[in-house]
């Protein structure tokens, strides 16, 4: 059975905050037929036990998905989307930074604007400097890689309609990037300003490694532009080398026959072109590696067990 609004929340080491998030949803949604889908993404704290207690407390509206290990935020969100039954689906963080009242504004806005996806654009971001910096870089790259309108900010706080959710769930690759999948489906996308609160407890679990892998998913999985950039870089460097050789010959023959053309010039040239070649080979290798892993059946996620809400079974 379907409902009006699903809340999909990836859970990772948020045992101290997830209860407040769920109770805030329950208190704010008395007049809406809703459900909550919690996806435990390999947490190492007591998140599983806390989610199971919440499932017992709210059996009619809460679905709990327990993944076999940590797969990453976007994989966990995709696992939640597969279980969501709502006509509209809101994606929230597990740390309380996304107010439920703002999620309901997004829900009302997507119905009023009749868009496929409505993003929340934070008035003031409460993330760390590192995460804000990487987000800015990702946003600029997405303009090129995903052909995203520059005015749209890609945030994890958004509401999608059923059409987009169903299309996103068709993706079978091992490295999902939810925003990339959205822009492959539709361009009927808008945003509104929303509040962004401080975390209820603790600090962000995003590390440099996780942020880099997230960037890599967007950079490589949804565009072949990196290969084209690598090819253009190769052409540019080849042309630059030919030009450099011409300059050296002209300088040696007609300008200064005594000029020294020796080992340092050769070594610098070799290092430069070797670096360019390694970058190009690395990009090609990353593409081939991802194709291999996809063909090898690398899973997007593995569900250890699922406890579905009683109302919509």
User: Tell me: the pLDDT tens digits for 237-279?
Assistant: 777 777 776 776 776 677 767 766 666 567 667 767 777 777 7
Three-state SS at 286: helix
Nearest of 30, 134, 43 to residue 94 by alpha carbon: 43
Question: Are the C-beta atoms of residues 238 and 230 closer than 8 Å to each other?
Answer: no
Q: CB-hemisphere CA count at 13 Å for 104? A: 14
**From residue 39, how far is each of 56, 64, 180, 225, 226 by CA, in Å?**
16, 6, 21, 33, 33
Q: How confident is the model at residue 43 (pLDDT cuts 50, 70, 90)?
A: very high
> Where does the pLDDT of residue 95 fall: very low under 50, low under 70, confident under 90, or very high at 90 and above?
very high
- Whether residue 160 contacts residue 182, with contact meaning beta carbons closer than 8 Å, is answered with yes
Signed CA dihedral, 301, 305, 310, 313: sign only: positive
Residue 56 has pLDDT above 80, yes or no: yes
> Residue 210: what are its φ and ψ, rounded to 5°?
-65, -40
Confidence grade of residue 46 (pLDDT, cut at 50, 70, 90):
very high
Provide the Cα torsion 66, 25, 57, 44; round to 10°. 30
Residue 70: per-residue pLDDT = 94
Residue 66, SS3 per DSSP: strand
* H/E stretch holding 226: helix 225-250
pLDDT digits (tens, 9 = 90+) for 114-127: 999 999 999 887 66
Structure tokens at 132: 């804000």
The three-state secondary structure class of 54 is helix
Which H helix or E strand runs over 211? helix 208-221
Query: CA dist 79 to 63, 230, 301, Å?
Result: 12, 34, 7
> Looking at residue 312, what is its pLDDT?
56
pLDDT in tens, 207-216: 666 666 666 6
- The burial of 52, by beta-carbon neighbours within 10 Å (0-12 exposed, 13-18 middle, 19 or more buried), is given as middle
Judge whether residue 100 has pLDDT over 70. Answer: yes
Per-residue confidence (pLDDT) for residue 220, from 0 to 100 = 66
Burial class (CB in 10 A: 0-12, 13-18, 19+), 208: exposed
User: Most distant CA pair in the chain: distance in Å?
Assistant: 89
- Indicate whether 157 pLDDT > 90: yes
Tokens 């430069």 belong to residue: 272
- Domain-wise residue ranges, the chain: 3-222+299-307, 225-295
Q: How many CA atoms lie within 13 A of 42 on its CB side?
A: 11
Determine the 3-state secondary structure of 70 from DSSP: coil
Q: Which CATH architecture describes the domain 3-222+299-307?
A: Alpha-Beta Complex (3.90)
Residues 11-37: tens digit of each pLDDT: 999 999 999 999 999 999 988 999 999
Q: How confident is the model at residue 309 (pLDDT cuts 50, 70, 90)?
A: confident
Rank 101-110, 171-180, 208-217, 264-273 by mean pLDDT and report only the highest: 101-110
């Amino acid at each position: 059975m379907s409902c009006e609004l699903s809340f999909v929340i990836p859970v990772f080491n948020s045992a101290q905050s997830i209860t407040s998030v769920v109770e805030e949803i329950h208190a704010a949604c008395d007049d809406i037929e809703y459900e909550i889908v919690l996806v435990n993404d390999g947490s190492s704290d007591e998140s599983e036990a806390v989610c199971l207690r919440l499932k017992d407390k709210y059996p009619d509206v809460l679905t709990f998905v327990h993944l076999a290990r940590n797969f990453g935020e976007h994989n966990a969100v995709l696992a939640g989307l597969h279980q969501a039954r709502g006509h509209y689906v809101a994606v929230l963080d597990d740390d309380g930074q996304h107010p439920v009242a703002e999620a309901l504004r997004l829900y009302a806005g997507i119905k009023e604007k009749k868009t496929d996806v409505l993003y929340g654009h934070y008035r003031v971001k409460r993330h760390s400097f590192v995460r804000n910096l990487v987000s800015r870089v990702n946003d600029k790259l997405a303009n090129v890689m995903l052909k995203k309108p520059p005015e749209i900010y890609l945030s994890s706080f958004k509401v999608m309609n059923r059409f987009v959710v169903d299309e996103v769930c068709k993706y079978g690759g091992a490295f999902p990037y939810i925003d990339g999948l959205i822009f492959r489906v539709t361009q009927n996308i808008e945003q509104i300003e929303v509040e962004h609160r401080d975390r209820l407890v603790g600090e962000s679990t995003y590390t440099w490694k996780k942020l880099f892998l997230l960037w890599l998913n967007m950079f490589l999985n949804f565009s072949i532009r990196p290969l084209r950039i690598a090819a253009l870089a190769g052409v540019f460097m080849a042309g630059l080398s030919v030009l450099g050789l011409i300059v050296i010959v002209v300088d040696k023959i007609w300008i200064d026959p005594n000029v020294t053309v020796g080992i340092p010039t050769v070594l610098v040239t070799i290092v430069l072109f070797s670096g360019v070649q390694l970058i190009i080979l690395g990009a090609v290798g990353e593409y081939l590696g991802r194709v291999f892993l996809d063909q090898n059946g690398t899973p997007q996620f593995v569900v250890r067990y699922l406890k579905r809400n009683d109302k919509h079974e």
